[in-house]
Amino acid sequence: MLNFRVSLRLFSFGNRKGMCRYLEKMAAKGWMPESLTGDGLWMFRRILPTALKYAVFYARPAKEKDAEAMAKQAEFYELCAHDGWELVCTNSEIQIFCNRRPDPVPLDTDPVAELDRFHAAFLRGFVPTWILTFCLFALSIWQEIRYCNWNLHWQERLAALGIYREEAAAPWGLWQAIPWGLFSAALLANIAEYFWWYRRAKKAAQEGIFFSRPGIHWIALALWLAFFVFLFLGNSE
């Protein structure tokens, strides 16, 4: 009988309740998380089946070379242990605690501070991806403009860009660029939706309401669907 288990279970970054429910079910089956890679690859070790409560804390673990941050973190862990919360695993942006008490004191008691930590962690994790995506898209547009022969008739120009499938299409033509345009539009819609959600969540937090996970708007969903459809059509030619 193996004493460890690897499980792939994906969660959106803000779905702390879903993560906690999943970990509580795993504890009832006799599994305790030891590590979390990214947002979905879990490593578990075998324990006796037990009822545990879990909490997700959005904060980067302190680095050993930062003595002041390590001291503050140790003090925080002591306060958590006083209320029964034990650190079980971390990744780059979150820390997961468990509690053996049936009705423990909540780990987070300040909705404003929790939202601020979540927002900072979200930006650290996703802003580099946004910047890289837009840079790649801008590069593809620049390549189109640079290599397009603007002296051709408009029909010949479109054929060269790959619009007319009976003509010889360019290796990186407009037909190939459409999916990436949709990709960028969907990403922009996601960014706008997130900041709209954050504005509402911040107002609610000031009224003492803890945030619920950010969702995806139907416009962004439609753009993502169109992106995959065009990507499939482009690759099927």
Same domain, 170 and 58: no
Same domain, 77 and 158: no
Specify the pTM.
Answer: 0.73
Domain, as residue range, for 128: 111-236
* 62 contacts 69 by C-beta, under 8 angstroms: yes
Number of domains in the chain: 2
CA distance 209 to 13: 19
Q: How many other C-beta atoms can be found within 10 angstroms of the C-beta atom of residue 19?
A: 22
| Of 59, 77, 99, the domain-final residue | 99
CA distance 229 to 76: 49
pLDDT in tens, the chain (237 residues): 678 899 888 888 888 899 999 999 999 999 999 998 876 789 999 999 999 999 999 998 888 888 999 999 999 999 999 999 999 999 888 999 999 999 999 998 899 999 999 999 889 888 888 788 778 777 776 766 666 555 555 555 555 555 544 444 444 455 566 777 777 777 787 788 889 889 999 999 999 888 887 666 667 677 767 767 766 665 555
